């Protein structure tokens, strides 16, 4: 069942699970996926925690204790989420040790309501790193304009970062620049660069969802022929940008000091359109030194019938450019699409976080001891 996952791993693609819950931790399921399905990392986001905690299983005792202490809902939420991330990090610690810190990582996101506040994002990232207190944690910072200087500052303090919500090629280059600037800050501070790691989460399926909708509105045969191509083209050109930046003299100077490349991570790799093969954003985004973080359904589909045929990214750049150009010629603005997706991404995570605050508050009230 896992031959395709092994082939994917052998091609240099780290397989991370885009999901976490306390039940997954305590049941042994996460350990099983590491052992049998080549999973070497975990990503979380506000929507994932909202689903896990609202489901409730495994959280009642901690919620009861927190209610008894009368903590605020924000504090309760951070205690719960950091506990899950800490436990997952401990399960993944052998992978972290085996891969010299490259994998075995668990990501946790700063409060999405801070996405447009640089100083608050930096403060939250430092707090999360302290709360989880595991070397194999990645702090997720969104790639908003306000997030970019926060990335530099947090990397400069020696905290490893997962940059999230990247949709555009221009923003991705800015993210890589922010990472290198952070490493240069860390070097100036005398920190060991070999201990700092980062991934850049480039979102995939949402690009097709938005552009396909606009292609349908155009309605011509030419437009319909381009459906399902923009997301792969965008991601492949992101990898071209990665190759260029990490072949630069600026990078070489840092690499000589032991710095690690910031890997491209393919995020949002579950297909949204049932007309597409369910392993599309896995099979067609195989390239060395990348990460693919998959929801469990995509992981299982890849194990069952994924078609891993070697590198499917390098050598495709001209075709990818032509496909995005063809979309633009139909009057669909790339800049408009990627900005909309970034704005929506922040809004969706904020909505999930607010829903989670409300449901956690309701649970704290339900479980609070009655006054004698």
Active site residues: 140
Pair of tokens at residue 62: 């901690």
Q: What are phi and psi of 200, to 5 degrees?
A: -115, 110
| Residues 6 or more apart whose Cβ sits within 8 Å of residue 183 | 155, 156, 193, 196, 254, 259
d(CA 222, CA 219): 8
165: left (phi over 0), alpha (psi -120 to 50) or beta: left
265: CB partners within 8 A, 6+ apart: 16, 43, 162, 199, 200, 201, 202, 290, 291, 292, 293
Strands 161-166 and 137-142: parallel
Burial pattern 264-295, b for ≥16 Cβ within 10 A else e, equals bbbbbbbbeeeebbbbbbbbbbbbeebbbbbe
Q: Please give the Cα distance from 45 to 27 (Å, whole number).
A: 21
SS3 3: helix
For residue 327, what are its two tokens?
Answer: 């979309």
Phi, psi of 213 (to 5 degrees): -60, -40
CA 93/CA 39 separation, integer angstroms? 13
- Give strand pairing partners of 14: 291
């Amino acid at each position: 069942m896992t031959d395709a996952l092994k082939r994917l791993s052998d091609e240099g693609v780290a397989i991370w699970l885009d999901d976490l819950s306390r039940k997954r931790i305590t049941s042994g399921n996460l350990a099983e996926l590491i052992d049998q399905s080549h999973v070497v990392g975990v990503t979380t986001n506000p929507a994932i925690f909202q689903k896990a905690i609202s489901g409730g299983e495994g959280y009642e005792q901690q919620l009861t204790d927190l209610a008894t202490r009368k903590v605020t809902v924000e504090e309760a939420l951070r205690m719960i989420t950091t506990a899950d991330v800490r436990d997952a990090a401990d399960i993944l610690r052998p992978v972290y040790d085996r891969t010299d810190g490259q994998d075995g990582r668990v990501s946790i996101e700063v409060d999405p309501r801070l996405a447009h506040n640089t100083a608050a994002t930096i403060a939250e990232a430092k707090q999360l790193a302290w709360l989880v207190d595991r070397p194999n944690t990645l702090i997720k910072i969104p790639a908003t304009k306000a997030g970019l200087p926060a990335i530099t500052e947090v990397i400069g303090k020696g905290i490893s970062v997962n940059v999230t919500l990247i949709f555009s090629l221009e923003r991705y280059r800015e993210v890589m620049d922010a990472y290198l600037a952070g490493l240069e800050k860390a070097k100036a501070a005398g920190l060991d660069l070999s201990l700092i790691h980062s991934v850049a989460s480039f979102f995939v399926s949402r690009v097709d969802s938005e552009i396909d909708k606009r292609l349908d509105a155009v309605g011509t045969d030419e437009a319909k022929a381009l459906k399902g191509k923009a997301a792969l083209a965008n991601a492949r050109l992101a990898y071209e940008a990665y190759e260029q930046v990490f072949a630069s003299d600026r990078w070489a100077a840092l690499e000589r000091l032991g710095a690690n490349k910031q890997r491209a991570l393919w995020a949002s790799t579950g297909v949204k359109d049932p007309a597409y093969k369910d392993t599309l954003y896995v099979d067609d985004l195989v390239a060395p030194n990348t990460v693919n973080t998959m929801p469990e359904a995509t992981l299982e589909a890849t194990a069952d019938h994924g078609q891993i045929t070697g590198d499917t990214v390098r050598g495709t750049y001209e075709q990818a450019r032509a496909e995005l150009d063809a979309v633009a010629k139909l009057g669909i603005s790339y800049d408009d699409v990627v900005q909309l997706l970034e704005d929506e991404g922040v809004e969706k995570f904020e909505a999930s976080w607010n829903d989670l605050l409300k449901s956690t508050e309701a649970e704290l009230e339900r479980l609070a001891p009655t006054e004698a």
